[in-house]
C-alpha cells in the first residue's frame, strides 16, 4: 500500500499506528486562576540533554479561539509544567485524565490523584509517578495543527525504588507507551544489543 499525504484526509492513524510505542508525557500545569490541570500526550520525547530539553506536542483545539487546549494555554501563561512518567499501575488514572472536563475542574480531583510538591516550579506533580521532570518553558512552536512545547528540565524527582546505583534502572521503571487507538504497551519485554565499535 502506498499513501500520498495529499490524497487522504489525515495521516494521523498511519503515524500513530506505525510510530510505536510512543512515550507518554503526563503533563501537569496550573492555570492563572490556580486550577491544576493534568493531561496525557503521546507525541513526546527528549530533544536535548545539554541543555536538558523535552518536548510534547498537543493537537490544537479547533473549538478554541486561540487554538489551545488547557495545557498549552497554561504553559504559555505561566511558563512552567511538570512531565510525570506513566507506569502500568497508573495507566487507568492517566486515561481518566484524558476526559474532557468543564473549565475550572481539575483532572487530579477527577481521577482521585494525590498532588506531589514540586521543588522549583508551581504546578504539582503526580505524587504516585516515580519520575517527575519539572520544566520551564523553553519555546513553543506552531507545527501545522499542533503546538510543539519545549521545556527545559529544571529539576527531577526520582523514586529510589526505580534506581540502581543512583541511576534510573529501566528494568525497575515499568513505564507504558502508547500504541494506536485504545492500545498501550508495557516495557517489560526487553532485549540487549551491544553497539558496534
Q: Could you tell me what percentage of the chain is helix, strand and coil, using 3-state DSSP and rounding each to the nearest 5?
A: 20, 40, 45
Report the C-alpha gap between 58 and 43 in whole angstroms.
Answer: 7
Which residues does residue 175 pair with via DSSP β-bridges, in sequence order?
87
Over residues 151-180, mean pLDDT:
96
Residue ranges covered by each domain of the chain: 11-186
Q: Give 51's Cβ-side CA count (13 Å radius).
A: 14
Distances (CA, A) of 161 to 77, 124, 166: 35, 21, 10
**Domain 11-186: which CATH number of 3.30.56.10, 1.10.940.10, 2.30.110.10, 3.90.550.10:** 2.30.110.10
Distances (CA, A) of 118 to 114, 157, 170: 13, 8, 23
- Encode pLDDT of 176-187 as tens digits: 999 999 999 999
SS3 78: helix
Q: What is the pLDDT of residue 103?
A: 78
Q: What is the pLDDT of residue 104?
A: 86
Report the C-alpha gap between 180 and 7 in whole angstroms.
Answer: 22
- Encode pLDDT of 4-59 as tens digits: 999 999 999 999 999 999 999 999 999 999 999 999 999 999 999 999 999 999 99
Distances (CA, A) of 63 to 11, 59, 60, 68, 192: 21, 12, 9, 9, 46
Is a pLDDT exceeding 90 seen at residue 68? Answer: no
Which residues does residue 134 pair with via DSSP β-bridges, in sequence order?
82, 155
Q: What is the pLDDT of residue 64?
A: 63
Q: What value does the mean pLDDT of the chain take?
A: 94
Q: What is the pLDDT of residue 189?
A: 87
- Encode pLDDT of 95-121 as tens digits: 999 999 987 899 999 999 999 999 999
pLDDT > 70 in the chain, percent: 97
ω before 115 within 30° of 0 (cis)? no
* pTM of the predicted protein model: 0.94
Report the C-alpha gap between 122 and 30 in whole angstroms.
Answer: 7
Amino acid at each position: 500500500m502506498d499513501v500520498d499525504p495529499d490524497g487522504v484526509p489525515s495521516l494521523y492513524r498511519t503515524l500513530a499506528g506505525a510510530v510505536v510505542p510512543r512515550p507518554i508525557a503526563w503533563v501537569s500545569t496550573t492555570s492563572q486562576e490556580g486550577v491544576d490541570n493534568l493531561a496525557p500526550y503521546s507525541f513526546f520525547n527528549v530533544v536535548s540533554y545539554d541543555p536538558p530539553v523535552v518536548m510534547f506536542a498537543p493537537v490544537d483545539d479547533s473549538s478554541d479561539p486561540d487554538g489551545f487546549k488547557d495545557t498549552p494555554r497554561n504553559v504559555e501563561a505561566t511558563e512552567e509544567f511538570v512531565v510525570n512518567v506513566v507506569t502500568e499501575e497508573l495507566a487507568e488514572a492517566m486515561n481518566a485524565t484524558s476526559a474532557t472536563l468543564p473549565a475550572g475542574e481539575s483532572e487530579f480531583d477527577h481521577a482521585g490523584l494525590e498532588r506531589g510538591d514540586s521543588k522549583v516550579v508551581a504546578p504539582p506533580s503526580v505524587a504516585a509517578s516515580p519520575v517527575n521532570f519539572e520544566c520551564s518553558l523553553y519555546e513553543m512552536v506552531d507545527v501545522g495543527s499542533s503546538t510543539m512545547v519545549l521545556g527545559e528540565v529544571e529539576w527531577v524527582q526520582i523514586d529510589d525504588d526505580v534506581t540502581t546505583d543512583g541511576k534510573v534502572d529501566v528494568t525497575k521503571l515499568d513505564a507504558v507507551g502508547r500504541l494506536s487507538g485504545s492500545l498501550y504497551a508495557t516495557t517489560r519485554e526487553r532485549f540487549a544489543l551491544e553497539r558496534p565499535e
